[in-house]
Each structure stands twice: as structure tokens, then as C-alpha cells.
Amino acid sequence: MKVIKAREYDDQPVTQRVLNQAIDQGRKRNAPNIQPTTLRFLSELNALAIGFSDQTALLLPVANYPELRELSGSELGQMELGFGGKAICLDHRDLHMSISGMISASESLMGVAGSLIAARNGRRVSAAKATASKANGSKGGRPRKKVAET
């Protein structure tokens, strides 16, 4: 049996500086999570506007979702965020729709998301890319494309 000796930690007094550091660490940890914070029905566009914690918003047309097409304008205006901001809900109709599911059902939004992810991943530098770039640099750079003679 392996024996692991416990470390001793001295308690630090909680000063304003230590408290501010803890708050900053918590904010950084939660920063990537974009949380839906507002939901509004825009009758002039016949769409639901979902606002997020980073001040961005998304419009989802009611016509794209069969569950929403059956609802009246007043019912669409009564919809609320539920499940910790993960869904839109209309309790008296027992309607609960996942926001991420609604977004993934939209081909155009998924196309945009796919191209954004591809662009972000293309900027990443891996060891293989760095090695290939170094090898091309030692040869004088990327070889020129050969143009077919006519």
C-alpha cells in the first residue's frame, strides 16, 4: 500500500485583493459559456429574439418550427426562458423547446457555425504544421504552381 502524506495549507486571511482575484478567476472560468438571458417575440418579424449574456442576439423565425406555428401572437409573447436558460417554455401548453436544438434545426445557422469552426481550427498551429512550414522555408518557401503552357 502506498502512503501519501497530506500537505499542510495555511489559511490565508481574506483580503480585498484575494477576493478580487477569486472573482476574476470565476469570471474567466465562466466566460466561454454564452448564456441566454432574454426572450422576446417580435410580431413585426414573426420571430423569437433570444438575447445572450455577451450582448449578442439571435432571431428564430416562428415559421421554421411547427410547434410554434400553432401558437397565437399573445401566446408567443408569453414564452419564457426555462431550464436555466437552456430552453424556451410555454407552461400552459406544456411546451418546452431546447434553444440549442432549435439552432441545430436551422441549416443556415449550422452552415455558418461550421464555417466559423473550420476557420478557427485552421488558425491553430500544430507541431506537424510548424515542421512542414519550417521545411518549406528551408527550401525557399512554398513552391510556385506550375502554369500549363498553351
pLDDT digits (tens, 9 = 90+) for 37-87: 999 999 999 999 999 888 899 999 999 999 999 899 999 999 999 988 899
Query: What CATH number does residue 107 fall under?
Result: 3.30.2020.40
Instruction: Report the number of distinct structural domains present in the chain.
Output: 1
User: What are residue 82's DSSP bridge partners?
Assistant: 87
Domain containing 86: what range?
36-121
Report the pLDDT value the prediction gives residue 96, as an integer from 0 to 100. 93
Task: With respect to residue 132, please indicate whether it lies within any of the assigned structural domains.
Answer: no
24: Cβ contacts below 8 Å, ≥ 6 apart:
none
Question: CA–CA separation, 81 vs 58, rounded Å?
Answer: 14
Task: With respect to residue 85, please indicate whether it lies within any of the assigned structural domains.
Answer: yes
Task: With respect to residue 143, please indicate whether it lies within any of the assigned structural domains.
Answer: no
pTM, two decimals, is 0.59
Residue 150 has pLDDT above 70, yes or no: no
Task: With respect to residue 51, please indicate whether it lies within any of the assigned structural domains.
Answer: yes
Task: With respect to residue 77, please indicate whether it lies within any of the assigned structural domains.
Answer: yes
